[in-house]
Structure 1
Amino acid sequence: MHLAGFAPAFALSLCDSEYARKPPVPIASGVSGKTKKNLQQMDYIIKDEKLELIYEHGKGAWTYHLRIPNSKNIEGKWGDIKVSGFIDNFKIEARNLAPIKGEDKMLSINSEIRKAINKKGGDFVTVTLYLLSNKERITEKQILETFKESEVLKAFEKLNEEEKNEIFDSIISQTNEEKQIKIIVKYIDKLSKQND
């Protein structure tokens, strides 16, 4: 498996599984940086919250952005504070929150996202975001590679988009490596039964 950086426990969990066909390789650790230890255990920053898509002319990449409520106490410099989640059911991954001294953080909303959600400045969007730990990041691509090597990718691909997103979210949102491992193994088991 292409699971670089995952602890040996993950390798053992998958090797012990009757669904593993090849020896695992650990998952890449992800982007480096420092985040306060207490924030590494934080799940959701916001969940299903309505926020205004703010338009400020002449701000470059920040012309369209969201202000993320209750985020001003999250410590870290630019590049340290990464979030994943959904904006109006559009999945975003490992996006930077811009730190602003003494204020709530900003999340830039680029043209790709605006086109996908069909919103403009002044419109409201439904936002769910969770803070990524710098130590345990796993991507959708790595999850798919794990499913492929465990021979459950075809069963996964038969699921509808909502079910796929639920699986990705339940794995990626886990606060530590051990929880991610348990969820991945659970889904490998469940998907393998759908292959029968």
Structure 2
Amino acid sequence: MNFRTHVYNIRHQYKAYRQCIDGLTGTEVALHIDFSENYALSSNQNHGPSAIWAHLRPILSEVKNKHPVVTTVHFFSDGSATQYKEKINFYLMANRFFENYEFRKISWNFFESGHGKGAADGVGGTLKRQADAIVARGADIADAYEFFSTLQDVSKIKLFMVTDEDIENVAKTIPSKIIPLKGTMQKFYRNSWNIKL
């Protein structure tokens, strides 16, 4: 891809992102998602589709419980081919999303490579700085559970604990063989997926 195309894609994606955010109706929500760099104590480095959907489960449940009128979710993420632009993620999105949460429409929008930074990075950075400050005062944070339990008491950011078992439970629902949907690579080029029930 040449530089002009790259710059055009960046500008187009941020314009589409802004239009989506500014145009949200009472039945829509936008989620800007990303895995932050792992805190030094994190033992699970899985950022694949089963981990993505294990982490989305409590958030989507929260959205549905607190805002039952929401029928449409717009996802914004980077375009990592091993995480989000992957046939297993496409499968989970097309199945789990509608079966488990009763939403009616989904769009998944990909930022240009290296340009998906946003609120998710700020949240991750804030939590890590809070943890560093607690450790600097002499406390120990030895594992992910201690990170969660310590920060949920001091942070204004709502936290959810996602375990290895949660990720494995999602992985168990994935068929051993998934045939890629013909034409999805063209959709990748346009940088978004849209599915409606």
Question: TM-score, normalization: structure 1?
Answer: 0.24
Structure that is richer in helix per residue? 2
Structure that is richer in strand per residue? 1
Question: TM-score, normalization: structure 2?
Answer: 0.24
